[in-house]
Amino acid sequence: MDHSVSVVDVGQQLNRKTATIGYFAGFVALGLAYAVLGPTLTDLAANVGVDLTRIAYVLSARGLGYLVGSLVGGRLYDTIKGNPVMAGSLLVAAAILLAVPFASVLWLLVGLAFLLGAFLGAVDVGGNTLLVWLQRDRVGPYMNGLHFFFGVGAFLSPVIIAQAVMLTGGVRWGYWVVAILLLPVVVLLARVPSPSSFSHDEAGNSTRAETRLRNTRLQNVRLVGLIAFFFFLYVGAESSFGGWIATYAKATGMGDAVTAAYLTSAFWGAMMVGRLLSVPMATRFSPRQVLAGDLAGCLVSVLALVVWMGNPIATWIGTFGAGLFMASIFPTAISLAERHLKITGTVTSLFFVGASLGGMSLPLLIGQLFESIGPGVTILAIALAMLLAALVLGLVLWSTRKPQQEANHA
């Protein structure tokens, strides 16, 4: 009898490890697909014959698609098995990436960006939700690991684009290589069993769940709203950095297309390093402490870009610093929410609605002002968004302070 139980336990542990590897691989693929647009904006604008003001609609369309995909995906993960949804979304995203270099008119490119955002949004919601369901109270380090692997993909994507430009003189092969790299991940996720959501009995057995149950419905709604607004500001800043820093560098004369692509890669590479460092940090410090440190470091880096705007050395150092300290903000905020809320696909999708709105609106605003005001509007807009995000985080930490103290004394 004991032997049969141990065999079942070993099987469950193996399935958990395999599923975790699948989600990590899925987020490498997500990072590859998400980061490909930023360093290719100028080339895409040339393909469709528009200026930088109008090509900004591509980033906004991706953000709007992310919003739609997050909403629809959140409901899907609550009702059907999640891994096939993630696998199917990545498969469609690969097909879209194959088509992007062929778009010769703006409306078609915008439509493809919208669809790409929608399916990537579904992948993003799925990875975050399913990992919480899989790892439960152990999710903190794994969540940081998940977003580390997003950073791996986002770091490699501009490198692939830079190599494609150097070898072929264009970005087409870069898109095709990224699309092909998504396919093995599709196969892996399709073969991994899907985890189930928290049951009410399981939720009642944990101290964190008791803390969540003590919150009133109104308090929960307020906390979800605050966290969603925080994601709006933070993701707006992150998307603007990843999407516009290459164009900013070229417009200010800091380098050609290849150099600008490598600057984008430095941003995502710093995020990759930061997320790797955040894995052991998540076991030593609380989410509140990590978030406070992240926001402080990020503000220092972004404000340095403002003070020494246009300086190449300051741009490289500030870009790396911003990526390093932005790295664990998103996953740590999810971990903080998990301590005070019951995480469902719907709740996660609301967080991603805020994130998608930010990723859609701030890059669009920068695009509308880039040529009329100048490239510096990129850095100023990002700095303002991060300052506001720090204020909203303060409200989030204040509103969760009392429940956290009660949990500590329980």
Q: Residues 232-255: pLDDT tens digits?
A: 999 999 988 888 888 888 888 877
Question: Rounded to whole angstroms, how far apart are CA atoms 162 and 383?
Answer: 27
Return the structure tokens found at 79: 């009702």
* Residue 64 three-state SS: helix
- Exposed/middle/buried for residue 198 (C-beta within 10 Å: 0-12, 13-18, 19+): middle
405 has a pLDDT exceeding 70:
no
Distance CA 142, CA 161 (A): 29
pLDDT band for position 342 (50/70/90)? confident
CA-wise closest residue to 91 among 193, 19, 183:
183
| Per-residue pLDDT tens over the stretch 250-301 | 888 877 778 887 888 888 888 888 888 887 887 788 888 888 899 999 999 9
3-state secondary structure of 205: coil
Averaged confidence pLDDT in the chain: 82
What one-character-per-residue DSSP string does 93-112 give?
A: HHHHHHHGGG--SHHHHHHH
**Burial of 273 (C-beta count, 10 Å sphere; 0-12/13-18/19+):** middle
Q: Where residue 124 sits, what CATH number does that domain have?
A: 1.20.1250.20
Indicate whether 85 belongs to any domain.
yes
Domain total in the chain: 1
pLDDT band at 404 (very low <50, low <70, confident <90, very high): very low
The reply to whether 250 falls in a domain is yes
The domain in which residue 99 lies consists of: 18-191+210-399
Using CA atoms, how far residue 64 sits from 109, 117, 200, 298, 407, in Å, is: 14, 7, 34, 26, 38
Q: Is residue 270 part of a domain?
A: yes
Of 179 and 56, which is predicted with more confidence? 179
Q: Cβ distance 244 to 366 under 8 Å?
A: yes
Which residue would you say has higher pLDDT here, 365 or 70? 365
- pLDDT at position 410: 40
- CA 322, distance to chain mean position in Å, is 15
> Are the C-beta atoms of residues 115 and 65 closer than 8 Å to each other?
yes
- Asked whether the predicted pLDDT for residue 388 surpasses 80, the reply is yes
- 8 A C-beta contact, residue 70 and residue 367: no
What does the pLDDT average to over 12-36?
87
pLDDT at residue 409 tops 50:
no
Residue 283 included in any domain: yes
pLDDT-wise least confident of 26-30, 187-191, 307-311: 307-311
**What pLDDT band is residue 201 in, cutting at 50, 70 and 90?**
very low
**29 contacts 185 by C-beta, under 8 angstroms:** yes
Kindly tell me if the per-residue pLDDT of 360 is higher than 90: no
Q: Is residue 73 part of a domain?
A: yes
Contact yes or no for 121/352 (Cβ under 8 A)? yes
Give the closest residue to 116 by CA, choosing from 36, 189, 185, 233: 36
Question: Encoding tokens for residue 68?
Answer: 């739609």
What average pLDDT does range 198-218 have in this prediction? 47
What is the rounded CA–CA span in Å between residue 268 and residue 242?
8
Establish if 408 belongs to a structural domain.
Answer: no
Is 126 among the domain residues? yes
Give the residue among 352, 366, 355, 125 at the shortest CA–CA distance from 236: 355
> Is 12 within the bounds of a domain?
no
